[in-house]
Chains A and B, each alone.
Chain A
Amino acid sequence: NAGVMQNPRHLVRRRGQEARLRCSPMKGHSHVYWYRQLPEEGLKFMVYLQKENIIDESGMPKERFSAEFPKEGPSILRIQQVVRGDSAAYFCASSPDNTDTQYFGPGTRLTVL
């Protein structure tokens, strides 16, 4: 059973561009979580999604950030008009239901020039 997949692993964008981060959960997992890790910090929750639904987006900035988890295909975290402060590692985790352990992907390191 393949683990959680994230791509790209590294993404470089210039200020004002868009960043799209993809996450494919483990097979059989329908719950996806996105976390952000700033340098020298722990992970901070951003958003929790089930198939086609956003359950909790309390950790996501109100502007420029959006997330989706369509019926088919990976979950996408989209950052519009990136700024230098968006530079961070973005981790996706999945679980088979909302009471079980979350398994993490390898992360996407976003660098904004």
Chain B
Amino acid sequence: AQTVTQSQPEMSVQEAETVTLSCTYDTSESDYYLFWYKQPPSRQMILVIRQEAYKQQNATENRFSVNFQKAAKSFSLKISDSQLGDAAMYFCAYRRRQGGSEKLVFGKGTKLTVNP
């Protein structure tokens, strides 16, 4: 079974600085998706960024970028120029590409605090 591990329960960053959140996963599949979701205090799950495993190029979305290391099964999220609105729980998630059930497997999350 696939598992997703986020080893940092909490992280903090100063406003305007850069922070990196870690995520590792375990799978025997070769084709899959990886995601970072943000959950602010409103509890709404918001998609931050998505990576397809067959793509070598790291995904970027404005101030958010990933470092995808397929061989190491690592998928870290870098937030540049951190803003107060970035404060939230961040969840890393895995999804198999093929097959009849495309459920997401989530890590336990990292709580990010942004200090003014």
Contact = CB atoms under 8 A, between A and B. Distances in A.
A4 B83 CA distance: 27
A33 B43 contact: no
Interface of A: 31, 33, 35, 40-45, 48, 55-56, 58-59, 89, 91, 93, 95, 98-99, 101-104, 106-107, 109
Nearest to B35: A101
B102 A42 contact: no
Contacts of B30: none
Q: Chain B, interface size: which category?
A: 20 to 34
Contacts of A56: 100-101, 103
Nearest to A98: B102
B107 A99 contact: no
B30 to A, nearest CB: 15
Contacts of B103: 33, 45, 48, 56, 59
Contact of A99 (B4, B97, B108, B109): B97
Contact of A91 (B33, B45, B95, B97): B45
Interface in B45-103: 45-47, 50, 91, 95, 97, 100-103
